Structure 1
């Protein structure tokens, strides 16, 4: 997947991707789906970064303002697509 390698899959529950691009640290993107006690589905997405040194810290803080825009749009699109497939509700 582009510059990402699938690191872990738990079908219908979790997808964890590890960044393969050159970065001053290690990066992952994790997407998870869960059901609560009322049977409602929730989607969680998070970006993880383990910086290497001062360059890693500087990198992370310089790109973090863009995460809300990029990952927020991605989360909305994924949730919208999951809610409707050919006009019907989709179960995870």
Structure 2
């Protein structure tokens, strides 16, 4: 239930899942989920997912207007998190 910028922690499974619910004014409900998993190869894999449930036509219009930016914003975030985790696993600073 802790707040982080415009997000509220909705679920946490240490070492595996962090789900944040958007607290900003939106025409719908939004979540950001971040997962850490161990693959069959024994390597760690990071995944994230943005989920949006639009409220009416305005919600759909909002989603289609911002979705082109999500690849840039969330892609950069995923790369930064993965790099930081790699440095930490290698014994460096984050």
The TM-score, its normalising length taken from structure 1, stands at 0.92
- Counterpart pick for 2:54 among 51, 54, 59: 51
> RCO (CA 8 Å, sep 6+): is it higher in 1 or 2?
1
5+ residue gaps, structure 2, are none
5+ residue gaps, structure 1, are none
Deviation at 1:87, TM superposition (A): 4.7
Segments ≥4 residues shifted beyond 3 Å: none
Aligned-residue CA RMSD (Å): 1.4
| Corresponding residue for residue 76 of structure 1 | 79
The TM-score, its normalising length taken from structure 2, stands at 0.90
| Corresponding residue for residue 30 of structure 1 | 33
